[in-house]
Amino acid sequence: MKVETFAPAKINLTLHVTGQREDGYHLLDSLVVFADVGDWVAAEAADDLSLTVNGPFAVDTPTDDGNSVMRAAKLMGATAALSLTKNIPVAAGAGGGSSDAAATLFALAEMTGKPVPRDQAINLGADVPVCMRATRTRMLGVGDVLDHAPHIPKLFAVLANPGVTLATADVFAKLSQSDNAPMPEEIADFESVESAADWLSSQRNDLEAPAISLQPAIADVLTALRGSDGCLLARMSGSGATCFGLYLNLEAASRAAAAISAAQPDWWVAPTRLS
């Protein structure tokens, strides 16, 4: 039996760094949504554990224990022939590795009948628990507290990455202040794309400036998104370097993506729907 599972890109609409624990881990307050673009994980029963990687970003992706797919399989205690179709950039702030790990857990659970070890998933990465939800979530703490998120209408977006990678630890090391204000305790439901974009514009990604200091090309991406026709808001996701722009509808997002791709053919650019 072959099982295939989608691993959607994770997008941080906001990312407030609100503190730092004694062990060095930072505390976050982040509104997270998921895209309809992402990777795919496939699993087939086999006597030994193996991983092959294909797709546009396969060359940047390890096939050993450096890959979260392999670590997830070992956490499940399963042997399988695994394949990963890598459609989104590596080390790009879009939760690719964490989403791949979550998809692997679900694929192997379906293949073997074993339960998903949800209480151990965070050991694979701070974003793995929220990626197992794969729906709008308010993520707090070190990624271990998953809370109710307000209603958000389907958001139409362009994702863009300039082809640079960033190590999350390096970005946090550049952060000048760790005790920043969280989002409001209560967030009202959003009735429209415009109201969501308006409220989001009053929030932050505290890692954006540190990431730009390490990879100035991120600023170029934000400039391109903000200058595109119909862009309501542009911001970096996660620790970068992927950025997103929000648009009123999918047609506007698709037109903006085409224009940005034409001007920057070496960038990864994708129109998408976030939910």
Which amino acid is located at 87 in the chain?
A: N
Residues tagged active-site: 10, 127
Q: Which residues, listed in sequence order, are joined to residue 31 by a DSSP beta bridge?
A: 138
Pairing of strands 16-20, 243-247: unpaired
Residues 138 and 228 sit within 8 Å (Cβ to Cβ): no
C-alpha–C-alpha distance, residues 181 and 129, integer Å: 24
Q: What are phi and psi of 88, to 5 degrees?
A: -115, 150
C-alpha–C-alpha distance, residues 12 and 95, integer Å: 9
Residues 215 and 123 sit within 8 Å (Cβ to Cβ): no
Residues 115 and 148 sit within 8 Å (Cβ to Cβ): no
Q: What are phi and psi of 36, to 5 degrees?
A: -95, 15
C-alpha–C-alpha distance, residues 80 and 47, integer Å: 7
Q: Is 59 exposed, middle or buried (0-12, 13-18, 19+ CB in 10 A)?
A: exposed
Q: What are phi and psi of 166, to 5 degrees?
A: -140, 130
C-alpha–C-alpha distance, residues 76 and 104, integer Å: 9
